[in-house]
Amino acid sequence: MNKVVDFFIRKPIWANALIALTLIFGIFNLWKMSSSFFPELNPIRITISVFYPGASPEEMEEGTTVKIEESLKGIAGIEETSSSSSENTATIIINTYQDQDLEEVTTEVKNAVDGISSFPVGAEKPVVVAQKTNGMAANVAYIAVYGDLDRFQLKKVAEGIEDDLLNSGKISQVNVSGYPATEFSIEVREDDLLRYNLSFDDVVNAVRTNNRDISAGVIKTETEELIIRSKAKTIETDEIANIVIRATRDGQNLRLGDVADIIYQFSDSPLESFLDG
């Protein structure tokens, strides 16, 4: 090692030549190196969605989610599975290992899910979808919507832009974010509860019973299959306020709007989005 150092000290021209060659090869390789502003990664996600009209989150969990998760046990290539059960729907997300063939794992997942024969009557066939893209390559652009408007108006403008982009025929997916989820707030007036001798449970049971979709089974014939559903769920504040809690002594109907204020609003969220400060 000392001889090499001594050689370059005595003949610095060779040291400069070596540095020059290193720079030349480095620049050449940098120019030939493939690069991407949005690097493409192999997709690793499979999503299973189940729709069961009128089912509660507990019914979705017991009737569909648990059975699907059990059917996935033993399938090679699955790294992690997560699920969520809500009213009417259940979603199971599967993450595979990066070196796995996603199409092969998806086929095995479909076969496992199709083999389940004990789904509740009224539950629709599970939909299994493999993710097509992954990473930053899936994002083409970000659009910020802002102005001197309230959040509902901004949300409406954003949804209009979303529809225009999807209808263009050049964009297949648009995600709108930046505002909280919407909700119905039923604010019960305590004085009216006391006046009509009601409890909070009476109000809750009235809303739960009268504002939901119910699956009543299936009628099968030789040529067709009819699914019977009672569609009574509404998202209109006026219709929710018109829900009957009970009949009064004089034969009048006591409605939800008589004891509570129904407000359609954004849910409370600790996060806010800003543009330029």
Q: Examine the fold and report which residue of 101, 136, 171 is the final residue of a domain before the chain moves on.
A: 136
| Total-model pTM | 0.43
Kindly state whether residue 59 falls inside one of the protein's structural domains: yes
Q: Distance between CA 136 and CA 179 in Å, rounded?
A: 22
Buried b (16+ CB within 10 A) or exposed e, 164-189: ebeeeeeeeeeeeebbeeeeeebebe
CATH code for the domain of 72: 3.30.70.1430
Q: What is the pLDDT of residues 90-103, one digit of tens each?
A: 999 998 888 888 88
Q: What is the pLDDT of residues 105-139, one digit of tens each?
A: 999 999 999 988 888 888 888 999 887 655 555 56
Question: What pLDDT sits at residue 132?
Answer: 66
Question: What pLDDT sits at residue 135?
Answer: 52
Q: What is the pLDDT of residues 39-90, one digit of tens each?
A: 556 678 899 999 888 888 888 898 899 999 999 988 888 888 999 988 888 9
Lowest mean pLDDT, pick from 3-7, 43-47, 163-167, 178-182: 3-7
Question: What pLDDT sits at residue 49?
Answer: 92
Lowest mean pLDDT, pick from 9-18, 74-83, 135-144, 181-190: 135-144
Kindly state whether residue 109 falls inside one of the protein's structural domains: yes
Q: Is the pLDDT of residue 37 over 70?
A: no
Kindly state whether residue 142 falls inside one of the protein's structural domains: no
Q: Examine the fold and report which residue of 104, 136, 168 is the final residue of a domain before the chain moves on.
A: 136
Full domain range(s) for residue 10: 2-32
The angle formed by the CA atoms of residues 190, 196 and 202, to the nearest 5 degrees, is 75
Lowest mean pLDDT, pick from 60-69, 79-88, 166-175, 253-262: 166-175
Q: How many domains does the chain have?
A: 3
Question: 6 and 50: one domain?
Answer: no
Q: Examine the fold and report which residue of 136, 160, 195 is the final residue of a domain before the chain moves on.
A: 136
Question: 23 and 88: one domain?
Answer: no
Question: 21 and 56: one domain?
Answer: no
DSSP, residue by residue, 93-157: EEEE-TTS-HHHHHHHHHHHHHT---PPTTPPPPEEEE----GGGG--------SSS-HHHHHHH
Question: What pLDDT sits at residue 108?
Answer: 92
Question: What pLDDT sits at residue 253?
Answer: 87
Segment 241-255 shows an average pLDDT of 84
Question: 128 and 49: one domain?
Answer: yes
Question: 189 and 262: one domain?
Answer: yes
Question: What pLDDT sits at residue 36?
Answer: 62
Q: What is the pLDDT of residues 200-238, one digit of tens each?
A: 888 888 888 887 777 777 788 888 877 777 777 777 888
